[in-house]
Structure 1
Amino acid sequence: MTSKKILHVVSSMDPVLGGVCKAVRIIATSLIQQGIVNEVVCLDHPNDDFVTKETFKLYALGKHNNPWGYHPKLLPWLQDHIHNYDYVIVHGLWLYNSFAVYKAFKRNQRALGLKHQKHPKYYVMPHGMLDPYFQKASGRRLKAIRNWLYWKGIENKVVNYGEGLLFTCEEERLLARKPFHPYHPKSELVVGLGVEAPPMYQPPMDAAFFNKCQGLEKRPYLLFLSRIHEKKGVDLLLEAYKKIRDNPSNNTILPALVIAGPGGDSEYGKKMMKFVSDDEKLKDSIFFPGMLAGDAKWGAFYNCVAFVLPSHQENFGIAIVEALACKKPVLISNQINIWKEIVEGKAGFVNDDTLNGTITLLNRWMDGSFNDKSVMAQQAEHCYKTCFSIEALIDNWTTKVLT
């Protein structure tokens, strides 16, 4: 196994983008621990701070400056180097990096056969980008048409030519079959996505977090930690919270609510903040600390009573898994692709991504006994260890892909 060598091809590794680049780092660093060589080629500036400080080999070919992510150096680099690897993993779809890998393999097919004994295998990891949501969501009609045309011309070749597709969960695998045709990948492998165990709780985490939320100290609170974006269902959460608070038959004291993450300066984010600031009672109970990192982030996780995310679409949800790892039950929508694992692990509550569904999530949590919530906290940690730990990730890759 130590002789295996993997190349990950991704449009950008800028950590600000989250999502795909974070998943690549998790996979690469996890497999490196097993003695497997992992390297990345991306379209970032070689002098970017995150490039120079990366812990594994990262080939940054230069920043692209167009929506497709085209860069003239990528295809020649791939043609010159892919024969040095056992596996090439394309991360994400709809951008030039996936097409460049396809073209490099097609162009080098004869040369590889003549000059080299080994032929690298190439897989595509779509990271939720084949989810039907993106073809059906309101406001995406033109993008949906664009994607369909792009699929017919290019992306179906990328998907169907390689060794197969790698999925983070079973739900993603099933959903990927629905939106586009012809769809006939050679294989469909669920490899999961692990999350490192959180750092042990330390008192400085409390100070780092509560400094961001003055007035929250010693109060129970629910934590939303994600982008403040319409897709994440922030409006559903705020409206549900307000309706429960204003319900005269509700005798349970609502926990406070923390909406943490970037996006507060967007039009949607400003609208959400105004919704709260216009209501004197909400202003005292809902906090917007912005994006959290380091001790402040872990302080937010360790001190919350539960994690909540009524998202309209989520391929995996790393923050959800981080909450589970911190022994926190999760209250999520059934549009988050790991919802089945949450239900089976009894690690939280799941409902529709609607206002009524979100109200039900919050009410179910508030109606639970202290003992029920304590048991669920233990089940949350167990769900993390069995489904989403780094150990589970490594096992999936070494037994399903690197064979």
Structure 2
Amino acid sequence: MRILHVVESLAPRYGGPSVACPALCRELVRRGHEVAIYTTNVDGDRLLDVPLGQPIFEKGVEIRYFPGWIQPREYKLSLPLWRALREKTQSFDLAHIYSVYGFPTAAATHFCRIHGRPYLLHPHGSLDPYLRRRHQFRKWLYTKLLLRRSFRHASAILFNSSEEMRLAADWPGLNSPATNGRSAPKKSVAYVGVEDEWFEEANPAACERLMRKFPQLSERRLVVFFGRLNFKKGLDILARAFARVGSAREDVHLVLAGPDSEGYGHKVRGWLKEGGVLEKATYTGPLAGEDRFALMHAAEVFVLPSYTENFGTAVAEAMACAVPVVISDQVNIWPEVAQAGAGLVVRCDPKETAQALLALLDNPARGKEMGQRGGRLVAEKMTWRKVGEQMVEVYQEMLESAARVTQAS
């Protein structure tokens, strides 16, 4: 198959699709498919320093960046992307389109319809009720003018968990009726995958190098958060929960690892200072390569108290490293974590979060057992090999359905 992936941006600050899209594409190439990514160079209020309009090949995946407008930043407007989709969409068998509220989605679905190419819409959490309430009028207008039509003509809709699909079920545009001989879009679930290296044993030398970089972490029991410093991650909850944990135990240290591209870190530091635990917390900034693996393996507990979380890739990565997790019941893989016994699930509440962290810190044997269960869960269901297998089946069903419609007409 020749598959086009359309994503608003690959800038790391956006998380979610910007990370998952290239990883899935690499797996599809490994399986023998031709894959291209069309995207913009928008990176918040800046632009990525990348070649524009020409193909770049990364591990067999063709990537084309097109110049976008940084204002209005929410929509990733790009006339060159529009022209490229107009000219190239028909050369692909199908399209996989990420997110829903943006110019690339509107353009890609438009030209797929014109050229008769089946397409899959992948909301990546953007239909979550929590996010739908933000900028509500703007999203209502966009939905009425463009988005319902995009969903009505889609061949498939992909969710990253059953919980994400359940939460989106009341969105008016999701249950589109059959049209023009087509069946209603098929809804599927496929997890975000975890790279194979997360299952490797800890590297003692890498751990030593990390501790030399951050000596305050040595001989401490680490509570680790990996992710963007962003309002939706529940860092106000975490800071206030850790104030309770830090006052109860002298041997703990909170590590916050991830980009702070929105300047949210000063708020987090303020909350930690108010709680009297600023000296027991470290912000490492973004970590990559061996440092990222070393910190995760050094963690005693991983924590993510998000107000909304489409999947929680870092949760799956922690479980792959056999680290027990404490997550909110707004992280959409919480049912899987709870059922597997891989961690503790709490409400978005500082007291409950603190109690869960202390429960695992006070009982290392329990934490170790949960970590092992999490490792088995991810190995069985959340690797890119497993996800790639599922996605090939979804794509094949899309093509078969499109062929039946063509024959019937």
Q: Which runs of 5+ in 2 are unaligned?
A: 42-46, 177-183, 398-409
* Residue pair 2:51, 2:65 contacting (<8 A) in 1 also: no
Deviations 1:159-208 (A, max 9, x none): 22110211111111111222334642511011221111225332332144
**1:58 maps to 2:58:** no
CA distance in 1, matches of 2:220, 2:273: 20
CA distance in 1, matches of 2:83, 2:274: 56
* Residue pair 1:209, 1:297 contacting (<8 A) in 2 also: no
The amino acid that maps onto 1:288 is Y
Who is 1:275 aligned against?
271
**1:177 maps to 2:174:** no
Instruction: Give the match's secondary structure for 1:69.
Output: coil
Instruction: Give the match's secondary structure for 1:307.
Output: strand
User: Aligned-pair distance for 1:107?
Assistant: 2.9
Among 385, 388, 394, the residue aligned to 1:391: 385
Tell me: CA distance 1:228–1:211, structure 2 relative to 1, closer, same or farther (3 Å).
farther
CA distance in 2, matches of 1:393, 1:297: 23
**1:17 maps to 2:17:** no
CA distance in 2, matches of 1:389, 1:365: 26
Who is 1:241 aligned against?
242
Deviations 1:103-146 (A, max 9, x none): 2133334xxxxxxxxxx32111111111111133xxx3xx1111
The amino acid that maps onto 1:209 is L
Deviations 1:214-244 (A, max 9, x none): 3211221110111222211111111112124
**1:379 maps to 2:373:** yes
Give the number of equivalent residue pairs: 378
CA distance in 2, matches of 1:277, 1:244: 14
* Structure with the higher fraction of residues in strand conformation: 2
* Residue pair 2:4, 2:35 contacting (<8 A) in 1 also: yes
Question: What RMSD over aligned residues (CA atoms) do the two structures have, in Å?
Answer: 2.3
Who is 2:128 aligned against?
131
CA distance in 2, matches of 1:292, 1:9: 27
Who is 1:114 aligned against?
none
User: Aligned-pair distance for 1:57?
Assistant: 0.7
Who is 2:101 aligned against?
94
Q: Hey, which bits of structure 1, 4+ residues long, moved more than 6 A?
A: none
Who is 2:143 aligned against?
151
Structure 1 length-normalised TM: 0.87
* Residue pair 1:92, 1:124 contacting (<8 A) in 2 also: yes
Tell me: CA distance 1:389–1:398, structure 2 relative to 1, closer, same or farther (3 Å).
same
Who is 1:361 aligned against?
356
* Residue pair 2:113, 2:153 contacting (<8 A) in 1 also: no
The amino acid that maps onto 1:54 is E
Tell me: CA distance 1:265–1:390, structure 2 relative to 1, closer, same or farther (3 Å).
closer
Instruction: Give the match's secondary structure for 1:159.
Output: helix
CA distance in 2, matches of 1:43, 1:265: 20
Tell me: CA distance 1:12–1:230, structure 2 relative to 1, closer, same or farther (3 Å).
closer
CA distance in 1, matches of 2:317, 2:245: 27
Question: Which region of structure 1 is more displaced relative to structure 2, 63-72 or 223-232?
Answer: 63-72
Among 240, 253, 256, the residue aligned to 1:256: 253
Tell me: CA distance 1:203–1:182, structure 2 relative to 1, closer, same or farther (3 Å).
closer
Among 275, 296, 299, the residue aligned to 1:304: 299
* Residue pair 1:220, 1:256 contacting (<8 A) in 2 also: yes
Who is 1:338 aligned against?
333
Tell me: CA distance 1:135–1:297, structure 2 relative to 1, closer, same or farther (3 Å).
same
Deviations 1:249-300 (A, max 9, x none): x5x655221122222872x421221333466x62342212222112211111
Structure 2 length-normalised TM: 0.86
Tell me: CA distance 1:146–1:259, structure 2 relative to 1, closer, same or farther (3 Å).
same
The amino acid that maps onto 1:62 is P
